[in-house]
Amino acid sequence: MRLELGRIFIKDIQFGSETKVSNGLLTVNKDELAELIKEDDRIKDVKLDIARPGEKVRIIPVKDVIEPRVKVGSKVQGFPGVTSAMHRVGLGRTNILYGAAVVTIGDIVGMQEGIVDMFGEGAKWTPFSKTFNLVVDITPEAGLEPHSHETAVRLAGLKASSYLAKCAENMEAEEVLVYEMDNVAENIKKYPDLPKILYVEMLISQGLLHDGFIYGVNSKEILPTLIHPNEELDGAVISGNCVAACDKITTYQHQNNSVIQDLYAKHGKELNFLGVVLTPELTTLEGKFRSCEMTANLAKMLGADGVIVSEEGYGNPDSDLLIICKKLEQEGIKTVLITDECSGQDGFSQPLADTTPEAVAVVSAGNVSHLVKLDPAEVILGNIAAIENISGGWHDSVQEDGRIFCELNAIIGATSEIGFHNVTTVLR
């Protein structure tokens, strides 16, 4: 399967009369996009704003981040099973407005997420301080039930991203990345001496605002599933969750899954990348045992020599992560785990809720409770009071001078457990 991702570099963004890209400038027809979003009658109104890297803008509470992309030469566009009918993805040419992002915001229900600062201290901790962001804030119809509200916000973001990228369908890409690999059997024949590596991607699947979607199917309802890496790179997996801003996988990060990218880069050279297994993190013991057992079985069936396992979230899923690790290690399959830690604000507490001696190779994505002081913003897109309901924020987080004291927990992508960010912990 061969997927080409064509990058059109975006260096600025503004509102204008026509949605187009010219010399790196993305112009957006605000009214046209707003009308498109309001076609969903769950949505009463929508506010669109722009946030550029370096501007003193704070975006809060962020729900998801999506990369604008368009399929070249295809009548069917969008995210299969979600914003379009089920269709094949992972091959052909997809153009990307590279450097731009759609950011959806707004309170839904219960615990919220997350902060993106485009400047200062906060900018260091999120990858989305470097993207030119189109911020989408929808107002739901009165009395809209939380599940519908969540769906409306999610679809609005995905649709906006497709709308923006449409104008780039026939543009020439400045850089083309090729993701190509033969099927599993062919690869093993072709690279008999290269170690076979499987990537297990755990997805939080624990209820409203705690789910992922694969081809539109809620991850709560899936059994561990093998997919081709190109499928995830091309829109098959999207985010529906707002657990903890620091380590939830945004749709943008699924589209640019860093473990997939880094394994692909060495495929055929130092390793044989077998594929991706998506595994749900469930709330019952029975569900956990089932997910972990089946995941380990898939790894064994494929003859994996090594498995990289990434987690999403913390707390009870730590158990799943370590059970998978133990099952694989006991069969002689080498694991590397990527997870973040909950070591307390002083960094002294044990990092995970569970432990197992077999976990000898772990990459730490950082301590979610690490305290940061964010500089005062000039512009707030969204609702600053939401910080009280964000994991990692609290009642007095906002200081009188506009600074925010909070934990990394509250910042989008800060401790990314797919290793998207370059944060870690060191022993002191």
Residues that are catalytic: 242
Write out the residues near another protein by the rule CB under 8 A. Answer: 124, 195, 197, 258-259, 261-263, 266, 270-271, 283-285, 288, 305-306, 308, 310, 316, 319, 322-323, 334, 336, 338-339, 341, 343-344, 346-357, 359-367, 370, 408, 416-428
- Of 164 and 259, nearer to another protein (C-beta) is 259
Instruction: Report, in Å, the least distance between residue 110 CB and another protein.
Output: 12
Task: Residue 384: name the closest of 131, 105, 53 by CA.
Answer: 105
Residue 340 in tokens? 């973040």
Angle at 213 between CA 29 and CA 99, to 5 degrees: 40
Return the amino acid letter for 52: R
Cis omega before residue 61 (within 30°)? yes
Instruction: Report, in Å, the least distance between residue 362 CB and another protein.
Output: 4
- Of 81 and 122, nearer to another protein (C-beta) is 122
Instruction: Report, in Å, the least distance between residue 303 CB and another protein.
Output: 14
- Of 13 and 352, nearer to another protein (C-beta) is 352
Q: How far apart are CA 221 and CA 206, in angstroms?
A: 10
**Residue 426, class by beta-carbon neighbours within 10 Å (0-12 exposed, 13-18 middle, 19+ buried)?**
exposed
Instruction: Report, in Å, the least distance between residue 290 CB and another protein.
Output: 13
Cβ proximity of 102 and 66 under 8 Å: yes
- Strands 69-71 and 92-98, by their bridges, are antiparallel
- Of 14 and 350, nearer to another protein (C-beta) is 350
Cβ proximity of 10 and 24 under 8 Å: yes
**Residue 178, class by beta-carbon neighbours within 10 Å (0-12 exposed, 13-18 middle, 19+ buried)?**
exposed
With a CB cutoff of 8 Å and minimum separation 6, the contacts of 279 are: 200, 201, 202, 203, 224, 291, 292, 294, 295, 320, 324
- Strands 116-117 and 20-22, by their bridges, are unpaired
Q: How far apart are CA 263 and CA 272, in angstroms?
A: 9
- Of 90 and 419, nearer to another protein (C-beta) is 419
Instruction: Report, in Å, the least distance between residue 160 CB and another protein.
Output: 27
- Of 82 and 271, nearer to another protein (C-beta) is 271
Return the amino acid letter for 369: S
- Strands 116-117 and 92-98, by their bridges, are unpaired
Residue 287 in tokens? 């569900």
